[in-house]
Amino acid sequence: MSDDFKASVNVSRQWDGKRVGQELVDKIKQDDVDPDFILLFSTIHYEGEFQKFLDIVKDEFPDAPLVGGTVAGFMSQQGCYTRGVSAMAVDSEELDIEVGVGYGPKNNPKKCVEEMAEEINGTNNKDNEVLIELLPTAIIPNIPGFGQKNIINSRWIGKFLIKLFPLLNKFNFGYDRADEIIEYLSKIFDEKEIVGGCTMDDNNMLRNYQFYNTDIGNKMLLGINISTNSEIQVENISEFTPLDTSFKVTETSEDRHIIKKINNESAKKKFLRSLGIDIEEESGVYQLYKNAFYYPLGFRKEDVWHAGMIGLIYGQNLIFANKIEGEDVTLLSLSIENMLQKVENKLNEFQKNKTCFMLGFACETFTETLGRNIFDLQEIFNETNIPYLVPFVGGESIFKPDIGSHHLYGSINLISL
């Protein structure tokens, strides 16, 4: 840690919100950090306790902007947890911080981005900037008579339900439109690097929240802009390999979130047949989502492989959280071993650059696909002796002028200062 930067990364696993807040405050003060900003992430288990710990943290550090939300878990030097509250507090005289908020990212993403961007001008006297963005992930629609179900096999009911999708975003259901958000942000801040992720629950996709100082919401786009003369590195790490199984998308919804036909056949039948899965049985549903994390249907955009993340199956239709761009899709394979090696190589590079702290956004699917390998991932981070925090989110966004804008799944985006 340089004298110019101090970063305190701490975890509380107390159950009571007041105890959580006080424990985080005490640990930040023990680290002798007077924060310029605070990032705070909680798992959904603390619903009902959020206000208590936000009030305590902000009362102690009233001048530090606080941004965060609910995540599926997080990783730091203290451990890997799928229950708890984590906070990163950063103190430096070298930093200029601006925070912006927009409302209604699912209903009107363009207007929401413009609203948030109005509050972030950037500074002209600093050499480097990075924008961190947070927004709510997709939520399974609550259908009368069915509830919040991710699979409805009836062909006719499914056909009816997909016609309702254009209306669902107005009620904060449906896909998150995160790929549109990062695209709009990249046009406004076309020379700025941007990294972010989607707040979520414990992967049930029923609800999620964002934190802005002491405010708690579920329809906020948050941005925190960091300006500094120190070097900033932004990196995306993903490891998908295309397999030999390719398809032609022959019918989609207008917004390209819904694939209706593949190779002029039912999208559901064609895709499930390629995986050898029958979702009429309950065990088949579990097998589908487990396999879909390892072997997603993917497409290539600007030399980056994108995993299409299946959120819902209504009737014969596959409904994706992200837009499926182009007509050619293929099955991808996630290589955990290669992913870990890429992370290790990149962190070794960070170490050589005398990194002071790291923030990452990693896909929630790693908490399921990595299994015990997640502790190998943590050990790779710990070996650097650099303070870090990596929340597990519902999709990872990145923009760099040299690679374009991407909203991904199954990746890790890293910021180092």
| CA torsion angle 103 109 112 116 (round to 10) | 110
Percent of the chain with pLDDT over 70: 95
pLDDT at residue 278 in the model: 65
Residue 321 has pLDDT above 70, yes or no: yes
Domain edge (last residue) among 333, 361, 383:
333
182 in a structural domain: yes
| pLDDT band for position 168 (cuts 50, 70, 90) | confident
Same domain (yes/no): 320, 355: no
CB of 53 within 8 A of CB of 85? yes
Same domain (yes/no): 194, 325: no
Specify the higher pLDDT residue, 123 or 152.
Answer: 152
Query: How many domains, the chain?
Result: 2
Residue 170 has pLDDT above 50, yes or no: yes
pLDDT at residue 264 in the model: 93
Residue 299 has pLDDT above 60, yes or no: yes
CB of 248 within 8 A of CB of 255? no
Nearest residue to 28 via CA among 68, 52, 57, 54: 57
| pLDDT band for position 1 (cuts 50, 70, 90) | very low
pLDDT in tens, 103-137: 999 999 999 999 999 999 766 678 889 999 999 99
Nearest residue to 131 via CA among 202, 222, 205, 217: 222
Residue 224 has pLDDT above 90, yes or no: yes
318 in a structural domain: yes
- Which residue segment(s) compose the domain that 186 sits in? 6-138+174-237+337-416
Same domain (yes/no): 229, 247: no
Mean pLDDT rounded to a whole number for the chain: 90
**Cα angle vertex 310, ends 256, 159, to 5°?**
60
Task: Give the span between the Cα atoms of 388 and 76, in whole angstroms.
Answer: 6
Specify the higher pLDDT residue, 112 or 239.
Answer: 112
Same domain (yes/no): 182, 250: no
pLDDT in tens, 46-64: 999 999 999 999 999 999 9
Cα 186 to its chain centre, rounded Å, is: 17
Same domain (yes/no): 224, 246: no
What token pair was written down for 121? 């001008």
Nearest residue to 68 via CA among 112, 99, 23: 99
Same domain (yes/no): 343, 327: no
Same domain (yes/no): 108, 128: yes
Specify the higher pLDDT residue, 342 or 168.
Answer: 342
Q: Distance between the two ends of the chain, CA-based, in angstroms?
A: 10
pTM: 0.93
Cα 347 to its chain centre, rounded Å, is: 20
pLDDT at residue 269 in the model: 86
**Lowest mean pLDDT segment, chosen from 123-132, 192-201, 276-285:** 276-285
284 in a structural domain: yes
Region 147-160 average pLDDT: 84
What is each CA distance from 86 to 38, 201, 407, in whole angstroms?
10, 15, 24
Domain edge (last residue) among 333, 355, 374:
333
Specify the higher pLDDT residue, 360 or 283.
Answer: 360
The full 3-state SS of the chain, as one line of letters, equals: CCCCCEEEEEEECCCCHHHHHHHHHHHHHHCCCCCCEEEEEECHHHCCCHHHHHHHHHHHCCCCCEEEEECCEEEECCEEECCCEEEEEEECCCCEEEEEEEECCCCCHHHHHHHHHCCCCCCCCCCEEEEEEEEECCECCCECCCECCCEECCHHHHHHHHCCHHHHHHHCCECCCHHHHHHHHHHHCCCCEEEEEEECCCCCCCCCCEEECCEEECCEEEEEEEEECCCCEEEEEECEEEEEEEEEEEEECCCCCEEEEECCEEHHHHHHHHHCCCCCCHHHHHHHHHHHHHCCEEEEECCEEEEECEEEEECCEEEECCCCCCCEEEEEEECHHHHHHHHHHHHHHHHHCCCCCEEEEEECCHHHHCCCHHHHHHHHHHCCCCCEEEEEECCEEEEECCCEEEEECCEEEEEEC
Task: Give the span between the Cα atoms of 66 and 16, in whole angstroms.
Answer: 20
| pLDDT band for position 356 (cuts 50, 70, 90) | confident
Same domain (yes/no): 229, 248: no
pLDDT at residue 283 in the model: 47
Domain edge (last residue) among 333, 355, 372:
333
1 in a structural domain: no
